[in-house]
């Protein structure tokens, strides 16, 4: 299987054609080997235009959604970023290409361990993953310039707002279990501005500041 060719095709047909233009983002998607973040049986589908199961009842998002969330974070390469819902580690690997350092929290230990091993295996050096309830954030590492939540959030977890730095951006799918709205919150001079991007569908965020 020519995975590099599949990556090129994914970038052309799923990202560029739908308006993702940032060269650095496109380069990250051409580089990161998404097929390694799914099981061997699913690897041939690793560049398809849909979410894929990653075990423990969880999924890796469709590449376009990962790109859209990454674009919404508006990274310039200097940021410290937190991802809540690390899952397979794929989004972390993409972010690691585009910012200074990235921290991922995953509530399912098996997935979090797998993600750590995988990230090290593909040579990512600026990402750290821990097991835990990401709705509590990662206080020891706060503040973060950017925070992304990749699970359906019924509400905005308060600790994440608190751990977001000045001029920081928080991107999350806001809404109930059946569908959400991809939302960008921006801290500006102490106030929070919000912008909606599009509808989406994520697995639920489960934790103290989300669903019980
Ligand atoms: N971004 C991931 C996919 C996310 S799927 C990737 O690139 O593969 C959403 C993940 O959020 C699931 O793995 C789920 O276990 C996790 N999750 C749900 N609630 C969480 C919480 N409170 N803290 C951390 N992770 C959580």
Which amino acid residue places its CA nearest to atom 18 of ligand 1? Answer: 205
* Domain harbouring 103, CATH code: 3.40.50.150
| 151 Cα nearest atom in ligand 1 | 9
Among residues 39, 61, 88, 153, which one is catalytic? 61
Give tens-digit pLDDT for 92-133: 999 999 999 999 999 999 999 999 999 999 999 999 999 999
**Domain range holding 129?**
3-200
What pLDDT, on a 0 to 100 scale, did the predictor assign at position 112?
98
Ligand 1 mutation target, pool 107, 152, 172, most atoms within 8 A of CB: 107
pLDDT at position 211, please?
A: 73
* Domain presence at residue 207: no
- Cis ω for the linkage preceding 143 (within 30 of 0): yes
Compute, in degrees rounded to 10, the torsion defined by CA atoms 206, 207, 211, 212.
110
203 lines ligand 1 (CB under 6 A): yes
Residue 136 Cβ inside 6 Å of ligand 1? The answer reads no
212 falls within a domain: no
Whether residue 211 lies inside any domain: the answer is no
Q: What is the pLDDT of residue 55?
A: 94
Please report whether residue 209 resides in a domain. no
pLDDT at 7: 98
| Dihedral sign (CA 43, 45, 51, 52) | negative
CA-nearest residue for atom 10, ligand 1, is 85
pLDDT of residue 139: 98
What's the pLDDT at 57? 94
Gap between the Cα atoms of 175 and 194, Å rounded: 14
Ligand 1 atom with the shortest distance to the CA of 59: 5
pTM strictly above 0.95: yes
Dihedral angle at the C-alpha atoms of 118, 126, 135, 168, nearest 10 degrees? -140
CB burial of residue 89 (10 Å; 0-12, 13-18, 19+): buried
Atom of ligand 1 lying closest to residue 111 CA:
13
Edge to edge, the sheet with strand 164-174 lists 127-131, 101-106, 80-84, 144-149, 164-174, 180-188, 191-200
For the purposes of burial, counting CB atoms within 10 Å of the CB of 1, is it exposed (0-12), middle (13-18) or buried (19 or more)?
exposed
**Torsion sign over Cα 80, 100, 30, 87:** negative
User: What is the C-alpha to C-alpha distance for residues 98 and 81, in angstroms, rounded to an integer?
Assistant: 10
Rounded Cα distance between 107 and 206, Å, is: 8
What ligand 1 atom has the least distance to the C-alpha of 94?
A: 7
Residue 122: Cβ within 10 Å count: 15
Position 89 in a domain: yes
Query: CA 16 to CA 176: how far, in whole Å?
Result: 30
Q: Number of structural domains, the chain?
A: 1
User: From ligand 1's centre to the CA of 189, what distance in Å?
Assistant: 30
52 lines ligand 1 (CB under 6 A): no
Mean pLDDT of the chain: 97
| Ligand 1 pocket test, candidate residues 52, 151, 177, most atoms within 8 A of CB | 151
Parts of the chain with a pLDDT under 50: none
Is 63 within the bounds of a domain?
yes
- Examine residue 210 and state whether it is found in any structural domain, yes or no: no
To the query of whether residue 61 is one of the catalytic residues in this protein, the response is yes
Residue 48: the pLDDT is 97
For residue 205, being part of any structural domain is answered with no
């Amino acid at each position: 299987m020519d995975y590099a060719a599949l990556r090129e095709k994914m970038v052309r047909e799923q990202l560029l054609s739908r308006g993702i233009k940032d060269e650095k983002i496109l380069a990250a998607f051409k580089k990161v080997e998404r097929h390694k973040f799914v099981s061997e049986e699913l690897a041939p589908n690793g560049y398809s235009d849909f979410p894929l199961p990653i075990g423990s009842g969880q999924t890796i998002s469709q590449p376009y959604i990962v790109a859209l969330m990454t674009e919404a974070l508006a990274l310039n390469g200097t940021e410290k970023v937190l991802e809540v819902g690390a899952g397979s580690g794929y989004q972390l690997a993409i972010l690691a290409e585009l910012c200074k350092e990235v921290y991922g929290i995953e509530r399912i230990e098996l997935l979090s361990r797998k993600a750590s091993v995988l990230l090290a295996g593909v040579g990512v050096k600026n990402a750290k993953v821990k097991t835990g309830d990401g709705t509590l954030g990662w206080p020891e590492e706060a503040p973060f310039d950017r925070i992304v939540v990749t699970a359906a959030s019924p509400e905005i977890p308060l600790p994440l707002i608190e751990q977001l730095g000045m001029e920081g951006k928080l991107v999350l799918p806001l809404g109930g279990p059946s569908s959400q709205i991809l939302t960008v919150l921006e801290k500006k001079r102490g106030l929070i501005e919000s912008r909606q991007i599009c509808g989406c569908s994520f697995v639920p965020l489960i934790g103290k500041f989300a669903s019980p």
